[in-house]
Amino acid sequence: MERVTIEARRRWDLGKNGSHRLRETGWVPAVVYGKDTDPLPLAVEQAFMDRLLHNPEARNQICDLKVDDMKQLAVLVRDYQLDPIRGELIHVDLMVVNEQRVIKVKVPIETVGVPVGVKTAGGMLVVLVREVPIECLPQHIPAVIRLDVSGLDLNQSLRVRDLQLGDKVTILMDPEVNIAHVEETRAAVAEEAPAEGAAEAAAAGGEQEDEES
């Protein structure tokens, strides 16, 4: 996807009151930092950041940060905070990245498809891992990891080793960890029980007829 530019400005009015006044103008407090960059308080436009953070394809992607007359920086959105009551964006952390240096991030997993065990056997898909830690150069970070679960039948699972990310990305998790599986529901088990009972009764009846004859 096209590289996004985040427009920001230096923030001088610090503290709780300063942050409150800033949010009233449609901007939110932010900070940019990095291995060779001292933390710098910034202000970013709330509406723009809302759109960026609600786009799954834009997460974990390198953005260009423009701050006043400063040199443009390559950054990642490292973290952000929402108001616990209103759900509004209240702070953003931006991390400067060296595009020639490997970094570690967590990438979300998105399941694709409906498992055959759900469609034909009444099973239920259970997702145990929602994100995985990876290591790679910034430009190779996937926005999301899509995992096809359509082939899963009852009691089958997909593990970390089943993720296909290519040779430019290293997954930092035990390959045997179970990501998702299809399990039987109580309703499916309840339906099987009467059927099995009927089959056993029919078999028993057949044996009794043989003995009487």
Domain limits of the chain?
4-97, 104-189
pLDDT tens per residue, the chain (213 residues)? 678 999 999 988 888 888 889 999 999 999 999 988 889 999 999 999 999 988 876 778 899 999 988 889 999 998 999 999 999 999 999 999 999 999 999 999 999 999 999 999 999 999 999 999 999 999 999 989 999 999 999 999 999 999 999 999 999 999 999 999 999 986 655 565 555 555 555 555 555 555 555
The letter for the amino acid at 53 is L
Question: Do 51 and 3 meet the contact criterion of CB atoms below 8 Å apart?
Answer: no
Residue 124 to residue 188: CA distance in whole angstroms: 10
Look up the CATH number of domain 4-97.
2.40.240.10
Question: Do 11 and 42 meet the contact criterion of CB atoms below 8 Å apart?
Answer: yes
**What pTM was estimated for this model as a whole?**
0.73
104-189: CATH topology is RNA Polymerase Alpha Subunit; Chain A, domain 2 (2.170.120)
User: Which is it for strands 63-67 and 73-82: parallel, antiparallel or unpaired?
Assistant: antiparallel
Q: Do domains 4-97 and 104-189 have the same CATH topology?
A: no
